[in-house]
Structure formats: C-alpha cells, structure tokens
Structure 1
Amino acid sequence: MLQFFQPVLFMAVPQINQWYAKGVRMKDFVITTDSNCDLLPGYIKEKRVGIIPHYYELNNTVYGEEVNLTPKEFYDSMRNGLMPTTMASNPAVIHSTFLEYIKEGKDILHISFSSALSGGCNNVEAGARELCEEYTDAEIVVFDTLNASLGQGLMVMKAVELKEEGKSLKEIAAWLEKHRHNFCLQFTVDNLFHLQRGGRVSKMTAIVGTMISIKPILIINNEGKLISSGTVRGRKKSLSTIVSNMVKQMGSYLGNPGTICVVHGDALEDAEYAVKLIKEEVKDASVIVNVISPSIGAHSGPGAIGICFWGENRAN
C-alpha cells in the first residue's frame, strides 16, 4: 500500500491520497529521507536512516552519490567564482534503494525535502507508486515535509524517536502530518548574488544590497517555499535577528525547546556565534551544528546561516 501525504493548495488542511494493496499485516519498516536533510553522518549511520541522494554539478562533474567534494572544497569553489547547478534525486536510484528494502520484507516511510523547492518528492512518489503496483504487499508512505535542511532533519529525528518508542509507520506519519508546521526555519545569507542567480532577488537589489550590507531574513512558509520576511543591515544584526525571530516563534516551546539546529555554508565561526546567542535566550537548548549540503548550498551560497527549531507555527 502506498500512502502519499500532500498539502492541498488553497486549503487549510492537507489531503491524503491512498493506494491500497491486498491484505493487512504488521511488518517492520525503515525510515528514509534524502541528502538535503543535513543530518550528521554519525546519526544517519547509528539510526540506519536510508538516504536518497540529490546531486550537484560543478566544473562538468556530477557529485552526490559515491563521489563528493568536502564542504570546504565545495564552498571555496563558489568563492572562487564557479557556479554549481543542482539536480533532484535519480529515479533509478530511488527504485533500487526501495526495492532492496521491499525484498528484505520491510515497508518504507520516506520523509522528503519540500516539493515546493525540488522535484525530488515527485520522483520518490512516482517510484513508490510503480513499486507498489508491482509488489502489492508493500507499503510505502511518502511524507512531504514542506521543509528543508535540518528543518526536514528534525522531522526525521522525531520519526526515529517515535519508532524507537514502538509507534507504527501509520502512527508516525499521522503525527508528522499533525505537527508539520511546528518545524520552523529562519535563514540568512551573506551574499545576495546567489539568491539573484536563483531568481529570489533582482540583479539591482543584489548590487545595491551588497554595497550597503543588506542581509535578507528568509523563512520556509507553510507551503514549503523559501520567502523573505524582511531585511536588516549588517552580518551580526542578521544573526541576532534570526535568533530573536526564533524565540518569538517558539512561544510555549521555550519551556521545552528540544533540539535546535544551526546550519551553515562553511561559516563555522558565525554558526558558533549564533549558538552563543541561542543559548543566551534558550537556557535548556540542545544545539546541533552542521554544514548545509551542496544541493542547498548551491543556492544559498557560502556564509549562509540557518536555525531550525520547534515553534508554535511557521511565520508566513
């Protein structure tokens, strides 16, 4: 059985489309996601989270599967003027990865990068549907996080936690559906030209904004899109702003913040400064820091900083 959780545009609640297979059974299941989740490699290995790679091309070489650049190499190449392009997940890789789990007798919960930012979610849905038509006793649930980076990764971590508590695949999917908009992301970039290249700002805005050190504040909204929520002047101000915005969004979660994540585009010093600000505001916070994956970093550029956290709702 394939279940696909997808938001319906212009409606307040999501629609759930379902494909039913023969029989009812209790089977073990695996949790998979894609490389844009930005989870720490050690966590992925320890929890045995399956990863579907997204890809990037740089200097006529495609990376993302067995061949990869280090974060430093990737971001330095951008600093030196190379412009990477990105590609979504490969249908053949999706098919082979899922088929391996099915042949092991396992069902699959796939927690996907936002469908509003990439075609990867659609690729996974298509692959899952095809496999479930052939293997009618298989169940694959594709959950569209409408999120990115460790905003998506936090959902994976919660799914793993619920699985370890003994929750079923359907129970976990229902929990994620209910709490989808409680996973929030505040973001800022250091260089407007990468946003301009992706069509997020005009060339004139990028030129003038860079000259006067304008820094955009970006969020992932309820539709899973990256949108601007304002601008500030100066790097330090942009970092303090995303932290103060986080505190406002957390609301009642301030008393029980859980894990807060800081992601960066090869800007560890600024990430550590953001962690310092977070711990000043949220005393009991457990903070994870990781580098932004290349297929996201190709659009946000070197120096980008994001904060992913639990909130009462996403700002729009």
Structure 2
Amino acid sequence: MSTIKIVTDSTADIPNTLAEELGITVVPLNVIFSDEEVYEDGVTLTADRFYEYVKERNVIPSTSQPTPYQFEELYRSLSDEDTEIISIHLSSKLSGTYQAATIAKQALEMDSIHVIDSKRASYAIGIIVVEIAKYAKSGKSLEDCLSRLEELLNDTTVYFMVDTLEYLQKNGRIGKASALLGSMLKIKPILSLNEAGEVYSFEKARGQKKALNRILEVFDEQFGREPVHVGISHAVNEQYARDVLSLCQQRFNVQSDVITSIGAVIGAHVGPGTIAISITRAKNEVVE
C-alpha cells in the first residue's frame, strides 16, 4: 500500500502541534511590510507578533504566494515510488497558491500529486486537511482519502465576523462608503465563502451578539444534531473564541474541536478581532 502525505499552506491556520502530530507539511505564504522586510507566515512571523507589528506601525502589509519552484522542491523531497501526495490549498479566488502548486505538479509530470483547490480560507481549510491527515494516518487508501475529501469539500461551511471593516475596505472587498456607514451604524456583516471560493456578505446584523446568534441558527439548520467537527479561528480574540466554542458544544453534537489563531496572511485581509466558525460533518470510522 502506498504512503499518503498531506501538504497544505500556512493560510489553513492549523496549530503547529497538530500539524506535527499528523505529519502535515505546511508551505508558508509571505507577508510583506517593505522590500527589505518580508516574512514567512508562521515561520519567521507568528500570528501574535504580526498583530503587534500592525498595531505598532499602523500599517496593513501585502502578501504573496509561494513560487512554483518552492512546490517543485517540496514535492520532490516528499516523493518516492510508493508515495501519493494530497496538496490542499487556499481558494484560487483569493490567492495564486493553488496555481503555483498546479504548475509545479505539471512541471514534474507526476500523477501521484493531487492538487486541490479548497475554495476556502483559514481553518475552513484546516478542518478539511486535519480530517484527511487523520484518514491517511489511520491507514485509509488513496481512494478512501479522496472520496472523503470530496465529502468534506461539499460539507464544510464557514461564517466569520470582523471587528472592523477597514481591512476589507483597504483590500478591495467592500467600498469605502460602505465601510464608513457600517462602522457608524455598528452593523456586523456575517461573511462567508461562496461555492467559487469568493468572500461574500451572507447577512448583516446589528451588533456582534445578534450576528453570532444568526450564525448558530444557520448552522443548526444545516447540521442539526449530526456529529460534527468544529474549528474556531480568531485574530487576538481568544477569550471570545472560547466562549463561541462553548456555545457550539452546548448546541451541536461536537466530535472534535480546535481553537486556532488566524495567521498573518489571512489577518492582513480581515484584521484583529475577527472570529470565524468552521463546521463539517464527522464520520465515526476515523481513528481520532
């Protein structure tokens, strides 16, 4: 039986200890404050330090994806005659990371590399990657892993709330007038990702509490009491993340849960204070 290796990128926001435990290889994206100051997301710049930099300097950095060459080198290092690689990445509508990985696969001409556009971001990717890594670690076949991956791509939903609309406005997600009006009226947009992997405004609520209650209602309609995995990702908002997870545990049939920090790349686009809730259906046969 072939060995299955799992690759993702740093925007999946998987805690380092969990990635190491499951043997997940994480390719970092770049965070750019200036031509002379470029960091690797999660490697040379932690999430906490990133938000400190942003606060200290009052600047929103730019970001960039890994190069195809980086993926080529990684795929070569992971490959042998009995290895299959499943490489799951940030939505192609938000980054060129998936394209870079695809170019590397084509250059290597290796059918054993399977590059996947998750059409998601942050732990909405991570929750999928972790489940597939558990499948691989428990001895599931490539066919089983890819079949489960297809289910997860159909079953995983994420909603998120930002503390300020400034970051979305500066990154071109919403207009300046909308950002100003939303802030004045204390409107809390409930954001999500559509089937194409693009950010969109699902609904708007007056205040965070109402927005959270609406998100939980929507999840309840989708999953009911089915067994689920839950991930809460936050940008320097850990206590609220714990409060949100507690509500999810009370309301849903939670089989596993993770609280994780939103890293520098995603944080550059959503800003501090952001909370995201990712939920997917669980299957009982996986060894936890």
Instruction: Choose the corresponding residue for 1:275, options 245, 248, 267.
Output: 245
2:114 corresponds in structure 1 to: 141
> 2:63 pairs with 86, 94, 97, which one?
86
Change (3 A) 1:30 1:266: same
Post-superposition CA distance 1:43-101 (Å, at most 9, x none): 11111111111111124411116852332221133334111111012222211111111
Q: Match of 1:68?
A: 44
State the Cα distance separating 1:144 from its structure 2 match: 1.5
Equivalent position of 2:142 in the other structure = 169
Equivalent residue number for residue 285 of structure 2? none
Shift in Å at residue 164 of structure 1?
A: 3.0
The code of the aligned residue for 2:121 comes to: A
1:35 and 2:10 aligned: yes
Aligned residue among 121, 134, 137 for 2:98: 121
Q: Which amino acid aligns with 2:169?
A: Q
Per-residue Cα deviation, 1:201-259 (whole angstroms, up to 9, x for no partner) = 110111111122111101112111111111111223223332232222223xx2312x2
From 168, 189, 196, give the equivalent of 2:162. Answer: 189
Query: Are 2:40 and 1:51 aligned?
Result: no
Counterpart-to-counterpart distance in 1, 2:250 and 2:80: 49
- Note the 1:104-119 alignment, pairs <5 A: 106-119=83-96
> How many Å separate the matches in 1 of 2:196 and 2:27?
23
2:214 aligned partner: 241
Supply the AA of the counterpart residue of 1:146: K
Pair 1:298-2:273 in alignment: no
In the TM superposition, what are the counterparts of 1:188-227 in structure 2 within 5 Å? 188-227=161-200
Q: Report the secondary structure of 2:79's partner residue.
A: helix
Structure 1 position 256 matched with structure 2 position 227: yes
Cα deviation for residue 105 of structure 1 reads 5.2
Runs of 4+ residues over 6 Å off in structure 1 = none
The question of whether the paired residues in 1 share the 8 Å contact of 2:230 and 2:280 is answered with yes
Of 278-287 and 36-45, the range deviating more from structure 2: 278-287
Q: What secondary structure is seen at the aligned counterpart in 2 of 1:216?
A: strand
Q: Distance in 1 between matches of 2:236 and 2:182?
A: 22
Percentage of identical aligned residues: 29
CA contact (8 A) 2:234 2:241 kept: yes
Aligned mates of 2:108, 2:87 — CA distance in 1: 14
Larger Rg: 1
Contact 1:187 1:307 (C-alpha < 8 Å) held by counterparts:
yes
| Structure 1 Cα separation of the partners of residues 19 and 11 of structure 2 | 13
- Confirm or deny that 1:230 pairs with 2:203: yes
Deviation at 1:127, TM superposition (A): 0.2
User: SS state of the match for residue 83, structure 1?
Assistant: coil
- Match status 1:307 vs 2:277: yes
- Distance in structure 1 (CA, Å) of the matches to 2:192 and 2:14: 19
User: Partner of 2:236: helix, strand, or coil?
Assistant: coil
1:288 matched residue in structure 2:
258
CA contact (8 A) 2:4 2:136 kept: no
Structure 1 distance, partners of 2:267, 2:205, is 21
**1:104 Cα deviation from its structure 2 partner:** 7.6
300-309 or 68-77: bigger deviation:
68-77
SS at structure 2 position matched to 1:280:
helix
Contact 1:78 1:301 in 2 (8 A): no
Q: Is the 8 A contact 2:23 2:133 kept in 1?
A: no
**What is the Cα deviation at residue 282 of structure 1?**
1.9
Structure 2: tracts of 5 or more residues without a match: 283-288
- Deviation of 1:36 after TM superposition, in Å, equals 0.9
What is the aligned length?
Answer: 280
Q: 1:143 to 1:67 in 2, by over 3 A?
A: closer
| In 2, Cα distance between equivalents of 1:108 and 1:168 | 12
RMSD over aligned Cα atoms: 2.1
Partners of 1:28 and 1:105 within 8 A in 2: yes
